[in-house]
Amino acid sequence: MTADQNIRAEFRSTLGNFTLDTSFEAPIRGVTAIFGPSGCGKTVVLRCIAGLIRVKDGYFNIGGEIWQDRGQVFIPTHRRPLGYVFQEASLFPHLSVRRNLLFGAPHEHAADTPTIDFDEVVDLLRIRALLDRSPRNLSGGERQRVGIGRALLAQPKLLLMDEPLSALDRKTKGEILPFIEKLRDHFSLPIFYVTHDMTELERLTDHIVLLERGHVVASAALSELQSDPSSTLATSREAAVTLKGRVEASDPKFGVANVSIPGGMLITPPPPLPTDAIGEPRRIRILASDVSLARERPSRSSILNVLPARVVAMKPLDHYETLVVVKLGEDGEGARLLSRMTQKSWAELGLAEGQRVYAQVKYVSLGPGRGEPEE
């Protein structure tokens, strides 16, 4: 990875009794989550990237384009080709939805024609019916969709999203998440996404920058960090792995589908997938608490997914529980799964690193596909 194909960020500062000391690299494609507990400095980092906060010891380089280089270069916010989605949509209350959307859009006679088209955004976010209304009369979810559209229409080269769902209630959150998934898949635009929510992390992101008290603890691919027993992601109660799967076949009789993942094939539960879903890439999520291990292949079981694997690591979580990392496939050449079990199970099965096992997966959740209507 050379610097020109990456995003490189460094921000160091002392703000009151809070010390920010961050340095990380992220890929220039896909969604990078800036993840961590409240007060760890996630939003500060995002605001530094946008130039809304200016720290003296700061550096930001996106694909060779330098936005800040310590004291020598500092491009002001309004000259940075970015889009910013705030926690609360922050629409301009004195302008209609349409004029909000067009506020940052280049003029029609501008030299370079926009690559993100007005009608495309309006249809993708389903806001056509709102265009002539005032933002004052919109619901929270509608407002946030307009906020996202407004940021996109400014033709950003980098989209920054600061906990865009956290001000919304659970139901509305569930409605907006698919829109963000759609825009991730639809526009080839790098997105930095600040969140402390596990669901958003697993559904949206490819890369994580893990922050704790102003410091970068890790910066890695999501699947890598999820299955790294030294990371807090893997040891948390709701630890899970997210895998890239591909729909291979669907069984209309039972409503299940076959989805291939690196090192194995999974049967996913109903509802049945439409036939045109075959061949589609899908995200698969498997919780550590839904995976159990067996030394021999169970002959008769209600569990459909039994996959050969090898133990690659174990980590005691406390006196009684253990986290086990396995790699799928006879020789452990496939994807990593997590399994959470009692110390007693680990001891009685006589498990050890390198050992061949069968991973029994009780539940598999399947992410939405392209253009699939959200529920």
Partner 1 sequence: METLQHLWPPVRLTLELATISTMTLLMLATPLAWWLARSKRSWKEVIATIVSLPLVLPPTVLGFYILIALGPDGPGGAIANLWGARTLAFTFQGLVIGCIVSALPAVVQPIRNGFAAIGDRPLEAAATLRASPWKAFWRVALPLASPGLLSGAVLGFANIVGNFGVVLMIGGNIPNRTRVMSTAIFDYVETMQWREANILAGGMVVFAFVVILSMILIQKRFAGAGA
- Out of 77, 172, 343, 345, point to the residue binding partner 1 (CB under 8 A): 77
- Site residues (CB under 8 A) for partner 1, limited to 104-133: 104
* 84 counts as binding partner 1 under rule CB under 8 A: yes
What is the rounded CA–CA span in Å between residue 103 and residue 101? 6
Per the CB < 8 A criterion, the answer to whether 190 and 160 are in contact is no
Give whichever of 52 and 73 is closer to partner 1, judged by the CB atom: 52
* 320 counts as binding partner 1 under rule CB under 8 A: no
* 145 counts as binding partner 1 under rule CB under 8 A: no
* 136 counts as binding partner 1 under rule CB under 8 A: yes
- Out of 79, 171, 300, 319, point to the residue binding partner 1 (CB under 8 A): 79
Nearest residue to 295 via CA among 221, 358, 239:
358
Give whichever of 141 and 264 is closer to partner 1, judged by the CB atom: 141
C-alpha dihedral over 151, 153, 155, 157, to 10 degrees? 30
Nearest residue to 244 via CA among 272, 271, 264:
264
Find the part of the chain contacting partner 1 (CB under 8 A) among 87-95, 119-127, 289-297, 302-310: 87-95
Give whichever of 140 and 329 is closer to partner 1, judged by the CB atom: 140
* Distance in Å, CB of 355 to partner 1, minimum: 53
Q: What is the CA radius of gyration of the chain?
A: 23
Task: Annotate 245-273 with DSSP letters as a single string.
Answer: EEEEEEETTTTEEEEEETTEEEEEPSSPP
Give whichever of 31 and 158 is closer to partner 1, judged by the CB atom: 158
- Out of 150, 203, 282, 283, point to the residue binding partner 1 (CB under 8 A): 150
What is the rounded CA–CA span in Å between residue 313 and residue 326? 7
* Distance in Å, CB of 332 to partner 1, minimum: 46
* 93 counts as binding partner 1 under rule CB under 8 A: yes
- Out of 3, 15, 52, 129, point to the residue binding partner 1 (CB under 8 A): 52
Per the CB < 8 A criterion, the answer to whether 269 and 260 are in contact is no
Three-state DSSP state, 9: strand
Nearest residue to 162 via CA among 282, 260, 330, 38:
38
Interface ranges with partner 1 (CB under 8 A): 50-52, 76-79, 82-84, 86, 90, 92-94, 103-104, 136, 150-151, 154, 160
